[in-house]
Chain A
Amino acid sequence: MKLLKLIPDNTNIRFLRWRVPFYAISLLLMAASVGLMFTKGLNLGVDFVGGQMIRMTFVDQQAAPIADLRARIDGLGYGEPVIQQFGQLNEISVRMRLPADSSNRTAVAERMTREIVSTVRGAYPQVRIDGLDSVSGKVSSELFESGMWALILAAMGISIYIWIRFEWQFGVGALFALVHDVTLTLGMFSLTQMEFDLNIVAALLTLIGYSLNDNIVVYDRIRENLKKFRRMPITELLDLSVNETLSRTVVTSLSLLITLVALLVLGPDVIFGFTAAITLGIFVGTYSSIYMSTPILIWLGVTSDSFVPNEGPDRAERTARGET
């Protein structure tokens, strides 16, 4: 039986030759993402800003009458609703901010929900209410805070682990790749204005894990080769390591994509944003493990000495012979 080989044996692509232009592009994209977040911002869901989200399905309609609904709900005087369609064309979510100035916000929120539901029911008797999320300002700020903490702690924890297992340069490289991946994903959320809720934080944490997976596999090979080929120039050695692990990188990323696309196309609509974030993260993560976290090692001065346990006469001797 002839087996499928996506990547031929013994590839020798000189990935790192293009490191400067790719770095430039990545840094530009990161800057653009940060800029987008400051100007356009993220479309934060009720989890993070508080408010109410009512999910409804217009059973007897082809598509939800979004414009009409917007006018009707706006007319109630609680502010403008954010209406988004998800899944089928007749499935929507109606999002409302909590009334700002009111001593009894919970009661007002309750009344608001009741009025919206009865207004929509009055106009479209066949509507089906699928779910309700109601989050007070207090809870939403707690959720936001704990979400941010989770991201920061995960990034720190993983970088420290890599630093301990490898060398500090690798820790910095991993942290940089991770910031790169998260920033670009956030930029994409800002650009598309997809809803950013609690699930997306989980998605970001997941993609941090997976992108680091790739990093570690490449780093592990770099470490092995650094011990094996003491005289090889570092750029060449990094290229060799990336090439040796290329087949694995491609097969694993494809495996993940197969399952993710299945989820995107066939899975529950409610977690579409979540799956989309991870899918995007797989692309960004695979790219960053080759072009972000590897070249940075050159600039941070990784040499074959980095993994020599006993420095001393041996090192001095080699330096004397002109090996670095």
Chain B
Amino acid sequence: MLDFPRWKKVWLSLVTAALALAALPSLFALANLPWPAAIPAPLVNLGLDLAGGSHILLEAESGQIAAQRLENMEETVRTTMRQADPRIRISEVSSNNGSLSFMVEDTGQVDRARELLLPTINGLGSVREWDLQVVDGTRFVLAPTDQGLNAAVDNAMQSATEVVRKRIDALGTREPTIFRQGDTRIVVQVPGLQDPQALKDLLGQTAKLEFKLVDETALPSDVQQGIAPAGSQIYPFADDTPTVGQTIAVRRLGGIKGDNLVNAQQSFDPQTNEPVVTIQFDQQGAAKFAQLTTQNVNKPFAIILDEKVLSAPNINEPIRGGTAQISGGFSVEGANALAIALRSGALPVDLTVIEERTVRPELGIDSIKKGGIALAVGLTLLMAFMVLTYGRFGVYTCLALVINLLMILGVMAYLGEVAALTLPGIAGLVLTVGAAVDANVLINERIREERARGRGVVQAVETGYKEASRAIFDANITNTIAAVIMFLFGSGPIRGFAVVLIIGIATSVFTAVTLTRMWVAGWLRRTRPTDIVL
């Protein structure tokens, strides 16, 4: 038990040094001391509650993705049937409960219609995207398959994450962390941000831009009551426009979407000096836009952003250059945000902020300082207590404690982002210090007891370590169970706490049991005492 061959001593010392020294760069950084650039320095990552910054959790409505997909399917079905040669007439197109149904009017064309739809329902990937059933001979029912829907949600979330990333980059935020969580959520973490409002405004904007013709045949009284003529749709005006509160009827078909943009910039209207957004279409978009404006000169068209009308100007002349100017009662910031949103593309699905946590960086620094002081004072008092209670063995305990602390920080530095230090994590450090002495207390008390029972020094020490180990082992397992469950179920800061506990349990068993035993064994071998003060 007390035998430590040389190779074992060397090995233990090397492990200890490697882990404990890794804590030094972080301690230097916290104390604002320069670290020699020549030496690689892994740093302990700080959680947002210590570094300051914002944590924003966004969620997409998966129902919206399904609805969009159904709408696209309807369009595909209509186009496919219309473009078929000879044309296949369909009727009673309707969607309910997430599936689409329609009738093929000529029973003779049912098989051909089915054939034409096959590529669409089979999709491009390996999974079939839709289930097709033909009821009563002529009624087609298309229902999305679970795999197909999941793949669509996954796709939409993937591109939504990309759009979010582009927008945040465009805002000039440094070192953002953006990742998907679960099926429909995106986590955005930005360190050191003072005002997350701009960021939230930007991410909350879907930025779906559409240009649609105003239905001039609609009666104003009908529009007021929300009744749209066939083929038209009622839209409200956007919040900051002069005409807010009013509604307008626009034609459902024949408009163009703002997907084909190459650029969008905030600028000022040369006449009114009002902030506006200037957009630039790509070639395809420019052609479509030119066609729309050429065919509808002197008619009004509505510029619609996220289902709300920004403005409905008259087309005075055809716009062929592919450049357009959008006004809508913007502030400079609002126009700038819209320009960024348009540049980075529309979000495929609306995102809602469902959780936000923001901490001012100074508050984090304050927490670190206070936590550090509490740790230093607690540690000093504890060490005094240990030396007073256990003498030489208490000194070993103290040494083990300090090394333990360094090792925890060192391991966290090596692990990096997985094990960021959070505010509860600091509490975890302080607690681990208190709990780590338990192992030494158990051992020392047992040695004391064995001595009182009349055992010799070496035998008492040996029995002390052996008998105490069992309880130490069991106690640490139970703590590990609690900590692992905390890690699995906890979120954010709690995880930081659990990480410190788990690392601390491992390092404290190592330092409190293995290292002290090595030191005690060395001392016994050197001096061969006949009595010990304990």
Contacts and interface: CB of A to CB of B under 8 A. Distances in A.
A89 to B, nearest CB: 16
Interface in B483-518: 483, 485-486, 488-491, 493-494, 497-498, 501
Contacts of B385: 4, 254-255, 258
A271 B424 contact: yes
Nearest to B391: A3
A10 interface: yes
Interface stretch (B63-71, B99-107, B159-167, B432-440): B432-440
Given A158-B482, A258-B378, A131 B363 contact: yes
A268 B370 contact: yes
A114 B240 CA distance: 17
Contact of B352 (A106, A210, A224, A255): A106
B355 A9 contact: no
Interface stretch (A23-31, A194-202, A291-299, A300-308): A194-202
A280 interface: no
A212 B441 contact: no
Contact of A157 (B424, B437, B471, B481): B481
A147 interface: yes
Contacts of A278: 427, 431
B438 A274 contact: no
Contacts of A255: 382, 385-386, 434, 437-438, 441
Nearest to A105: B352
A138 B355 CA distance: 9
Contacts of A202: 424, 486, 490, 494, 497-498
Interface stretch (B111-119, B244-252, B282-290, B472-480): B472-480
Nearest to A142: B491
Contacts of B386: 255
A273 to B, nearest CB: 11
Contact of A266 (B366, B370, B427, B479): B370
Given A136-B355, A206-B501, A213 B438 contact: yes
B470 A146 contact: no
B489 A212 contact: no
Given A209-B483, A259-B433, A216 B478 contact: yes
Contact of B355 (A134, A256, A261): A134
Given A106-B353, A133-B356, A157-B481, A248 B441 contact: yes
Contacts of B375: 262
Given A213-B438, A217-B471, A158 B478 contact: yes
A4 B353 CA distance: 58
B381 interface: yes
Interface in B353-397: 353-360, 362-363, 366-367, 370-371, 373-375, 377-379, 381-382, 385-386, 388-391
Given A135-B355, A154-B482, A212-B475, A247 B427 contact: no
Contacts of B355: 134-136, 139
A307 to B, nearest CB: 13
Interface in A235-281: 244-245, 247-248, 251-252, 254-263, 265-271, 274-275, 278
A257 B434 CA distance: 8
B360 A131 contact: yes
Contacts of A257: 434
A161 B478 CA distance: 8
A153 B437 CA distance: 27
Contact of B423 (A206, A245, A266, A271): A271
B354 A106 contact: yes
Contact of B430 (A201, A212, A244, A263): A263
Contacts of A63: none
A72 interface: no
A5 B445 CA distance: 11
A191 interface: no
A216 B534 CA distance: 24
Given A161-B481, A267-B371, A270-B423, A150 B489 contact: yes
A132 interface: yes
A74 interface: no
Contacts of A165: 474
A257 B430 CA distance: 11
Nearest to A117: B197
B388 A266 contact: no
Nearest to B452: A9
Given A5-B389, A263-B430, 15 more contacts: A130-B360, A139-B354, A150-B486, A154-B481, A165-B474, A198-B493, A206-B501, A212-B478, A220-B474, A244-B449, A259-B378, A259-B433, A260-B378, A268-B423, A270-B423
28 contacts: A130-B362, A132-B357, A133-B357, A134-B357, A138-B59, A138-B354, A150-B485, A154-B485, A154-B486, A157-B485, A161-B474, A162-B478, A199-B494, A206-B501, A209-B482, A213-B478, A220-B474, A244-B449, A254-B385, A255-B382, A255-B438, A260-B430, A265-B374, A266-B374, A270-B363, A271-B423, A271-B426, A274-B424
Interface of A: 1, 3-6, 9-10, 55, 106, 110, 114, 128-136, 138-139, 143, 146-147, 149-150, 153-154, 157-158, 161-162, 165, 198-199, 201-202, 205-206, 208-210, 212-213, 216-217, 220-221, 224, 244-245, 247-248, 251-252, 254-263, 265-271, 274-275, 278
The 4 nearest A-B residue pairs measured at CB: A262-B378, A150-B489, A259-B378, A259-B434
